[in-house]
């Protein structure tokens, strides 16, 4: 039996993944999954009530702040935190203005300190019992120490500002995850399945590939597919970041997740729910947190030992001050100042929050980055290599020129070519058939000649459409009774955003290269049109792979952009692999580090800009925190500043770092979208 409950109190996606692994080891629990973005926990069990008790107990042991319930308690807990904070502040402030007996003063002081930091003290005790020392213990020791040396007001200030900072942190993380959580809401609860003339509302996971579904105005597109009837404007903003609706009509592909604004669309599904765009997005989003940047990993590792080191150093400061001044209380006081200023909150919170916000912002623009390590890597790129077809070009061919011989007209040559190409699935054949506006009759004696073309009979004459000569350009020849009567030159359509992408990359100092399997002449022509710095033709998959490795051997930081199964080796070899289009081959999506939801090459530029700005924010936080903390550590140790300033140095810089981290949510990529 399957059960779904809400889970809150997890501070990061990686915490959720670690907890999920441990909970899956519980006897009688199967397929347990925690979705950090949705705050949900699902599992299967023959006895779900009993299993839930086991899950809750173990989760509490591993993560004391975790809360598992049938309803979402997050808003309730925020309200409780605010109420206890308000009571604690009210009691504490009253001590400044109301004269009370000594016993009443200490009673009110204890109550104020308890209301302000009960969660902090409890968490410090639980973690200490498990052998874990973190900032909660630092704050607890600081409050107890301040009380011991009669610095009551400063002790209350320490815990009050710390608690305010923790509430602020929770709200900031919640806001950061909202951009990613919006993706989860794009999956509709039902689709309108068309069976014969009747419609039936069913769950998207019940729809098979090749089925017909109906989507009306105001409804979400539940599955990927091709429109077989209807015309409508579709809002894809949550999916691709496009601010304006796009018009979709018969014959066009449509991705799941968009919202139909008007009209009715009948869609033939091209995937089941598990393989749909939305499902892929959610899978990539959930796994993104597992890949951390070197900076984030370093901060995470150092904070494990940092707190213990700070406690030892504060004892050392206390010892030195006591030895010099012979004043025990003053030594304790200065040791506490050192303890408060050194609290690692600013680093431990702001660095992962900055990366998490950057990843959320990228997803809002239709850029799915598989981890903060790849977000960081994007900022270092100095070369971007593009596959040609499907990346810089659409992969759809159009007719450029029709040459005629033997007094034939262009319409006649196109018509005769379309008769034969109707029987081919080659992309060039499809372009010719699409360009012919006449009704195409059936041919007889149709024979497909492998690697060459199609031979057929029409009105007692034998025709051949394909290639008999070696041509430098992309072209199709037409022969009538072995006499050449025409030639149709075609070209892959260049995406309108390609030229702007290459121009903008050059402006920010990144070299663009095109690697194509076409001959060098075609590659050079396309390369000149899109504006790449270099264009190489006759590149087989192995050649592309070797070229990427050669660039890396030259100490270049290389990004590779591709969409086909043959691009997988190069995507893996590059420092950052970009797969163009969620509808690209599964191999390219699996091998890539960044997935562009639509086929817009400008999103490569957006990803680089977001990564550069995010990394800048991270280092701003680290530098500012270090400067402030070191300054106040020195001033506090020599007695220039008191504990009140130490509190502001710690909590103040933490709040500023959180606010700065939030800027990563709103990084604009003006001109790229």
Active site residues: 387
* 229 in Cβ contact with 265 (< 8 Å): yes
Q: What is the 3-state secondary structure (H, E, C) of 267-325?
A: EEECCCHHHCHHHHHHHHHHHHCCCCCHHHHHHHHHHHHHHHHHHHHHHHHHHHHHHHH
Residues 6+ apart with CB under 8 A from 183: 37, 238, 257, 278, 281, 282, 285, 363
* 138 in Cβ contact with 310 (< 8 Å): yes
How many angstroms separate the CA atoms of 112 and 105, rounded?
Answer: 10
β-pair type (594-596, 576-580)? parallel
B/e letters for 86-99, b = 16+ CB within 10 Å, e = fewer, are: eebbebbeebeeee
How many angstroms separate the CA atoms of 12 and 34, rounded?
Answer: 12
Q: For residue 563, give both structure tokens.
A: 């969409």
* 234 in Cβ contact with 246 (< 8 Å): yes
Residue identified by tokens 């090749």 is 210
How many angstroms separate the CA atoms of 597 and 324, rounded?
Answer: 65
* 381 in Cβ contact with 577 (< 8 Å): no
Terminal CA-to-CA distance of the chain, rounded, Å?
46
How many angstroms separate the CA atoms of 48 and 32, rounded?
Answer: 12
> H or E segment at 163?
helix 152-184
Phi/psi for 253 (5° steps) reads -80, 150
DSSP one-letter string for 111-128 = HHHHHHHHHHHHHHHHHH
How many angstroms separate the CA atoms of 463 and 454, rounded?
Answer: 8
Q: For residue 393, give both structure tokens.
A: 């070009």
Beta-bridge mates of residue 487: 403, 477
Q: How many Cα atoms sit within 13 Å of 414 on the Cβ side? A: 20
DSSP one-letter string for 323-378 = HHH--HHHHHHHHHHHHHHT-THHHHHHHHHHHHHHHHHHHHTTEEES-HHHHHHH
Q: Of 332, 38, 33, 292, which Cα lies nearest the Cα of 180? A: 38
Q: How far is CA 312 from the centre of its chain?
A: 40
Residue identified by tokens 């597919």 is 225
Residues 6+ apart with CB under 8 A from 178: 360
How many angstroms separate the CA atoms of 36 and 25, rounded?
Answer: 19
Residue identified by tokens 């991270």 is 618
If one counts every other C-beta atom within 10 angstroms of the C-beta of residue 276, the result is: 26
Beta-bridge mates of residue 226: 253, 268
Its sign, for the CA torsion 653, 657, 658, 659, is: positive
């Amino acid at each position: 039996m399957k059960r779904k409950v809400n889970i809150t109190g997890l501070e990061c996606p990686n915490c959720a993944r670690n907890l999920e692994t441990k909970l899956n080891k519980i006897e009688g629990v199967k397929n347990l999954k925690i979705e950090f973005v949705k705050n949900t926990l699902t599992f299967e069990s023959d006895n779900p009530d009993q299993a839930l008790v086991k899950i809750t107990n173990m989760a509490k042991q591993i993560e004391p702040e975790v809360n598992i319930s049938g309803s979402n308690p997050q808003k309730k807990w925020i309200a409780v935190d605010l109420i206890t904070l308000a009571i604690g502040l009210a009691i504490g402030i009253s001590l400044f203005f109301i004269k009370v007996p000594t016993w009443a003063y200490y009673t009110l002081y204890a109550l104020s300190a308890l209301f302000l930091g009960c969660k902090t003290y409890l968490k410090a005790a639980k973690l200490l019992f498990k052998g874990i020392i973190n900032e909660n213990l630092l704050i607890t020791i600081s409050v107890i120490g301040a009380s011991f040396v009669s610095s009551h007001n400063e002790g209350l200030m320490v815990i009050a500002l710390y608690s305010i900072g923790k509430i602020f942190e929770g709200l900031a993380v919640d806001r950061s995850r909202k951009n990613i959580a919006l993706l989860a809401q794009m999956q509709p609860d039902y689709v309108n399945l068309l069976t014969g003339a009747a419609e039936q509302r069913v769950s998207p996971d019940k729809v098979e590939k090749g089925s017909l579904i109906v989507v009306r105005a105001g409804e979400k597109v539940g599955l990927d597919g091709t429109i077989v009837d209807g015309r409508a404007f579709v809002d894809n903003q949550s999916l691709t970041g496009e601010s304006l609706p796009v018009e979709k009509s018969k014959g066009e592909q449509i991705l799941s997740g968009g919202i139909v604004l008007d009209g009715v669309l009948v869609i033939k599904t091209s995937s089941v729910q598990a393989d749909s765009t939305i499902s892929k997005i959610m899978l990539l989003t959930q796994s993104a947190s597992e890949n951390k940047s070197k900076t984030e990993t370093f901060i995470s590792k150092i904070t494990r030992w940092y707190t213990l080191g700070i406690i030892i150093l504060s004892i050392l400061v206390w010892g030195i001050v006591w030895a010099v001044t012979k004043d025990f209380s003053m030594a304790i006081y200065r040791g506490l100042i050192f303890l408060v200023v050194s609290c690692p909150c600013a680093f431990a919170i702001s660095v992962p929050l900055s990366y998490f916000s950057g990843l959320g912002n990228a997803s809002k623009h239709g850029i799915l980055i598989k981890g903060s390590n790849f977000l960081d890597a994007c900022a270092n790129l100095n070369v971007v290599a593009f596959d040609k077809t499907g990346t810089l070009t659409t992969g759809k061919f159009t007719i450029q020129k029709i040459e005629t011989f033997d007094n034939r007209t262009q319409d006649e040559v196109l018509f005769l070519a379309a008769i034969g190409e109707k029987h081919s699935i080659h992309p060039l054949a499809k372009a010719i058939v699409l360009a012919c506006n006449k009704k195409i009759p059936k041919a007889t004696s149709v024979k497909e000649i492998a690697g060459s073309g199609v031979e057929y009979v029409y009105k007692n004459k034998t025709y051949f459409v394909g290639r008999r000569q070696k041509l430098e350009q992309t072209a199709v020849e037409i022969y009538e009774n072995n006499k050449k009567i025409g030639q149709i030159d075609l070209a892959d359509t260049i995406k309108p955003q390609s030229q702007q992408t290459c121009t903008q990359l050059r402006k920010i100092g990144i070299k663009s290269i095109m690697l194509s399997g076409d001959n060098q002449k075609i590659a050079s022509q396309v390369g000149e049109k899109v504006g790449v710095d270099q264009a190489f033709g006759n590149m087989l998959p192995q050649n592309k792979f070797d070229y990427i490795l050669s660039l890396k051997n030259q100490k270049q930081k290389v990004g590779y952009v591709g969409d086909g199964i043959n691009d997988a080796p190069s995507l893996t070899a590059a420092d950052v692999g970009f797969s163009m289009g969620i509808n690209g081959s599964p191999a390219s999506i699996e091998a890539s580090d960044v997935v562009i939801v639509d086929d817009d090459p400008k999103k490569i530029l957006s990803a680089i800009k977001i990564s550069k700005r995010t990394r800048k924010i991270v280092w701003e936080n680290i530098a500012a925190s270090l400067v402030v903390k070191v300054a106040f550590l020195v001033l506090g140790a020599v007695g220039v500043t008191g504990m009140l300033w130490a509190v502001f140095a710690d909590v103040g810089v933490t709040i500023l770092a959180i606010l700065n981290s939030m800027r990563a949510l709103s990084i604009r990529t003006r001109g790229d979208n």
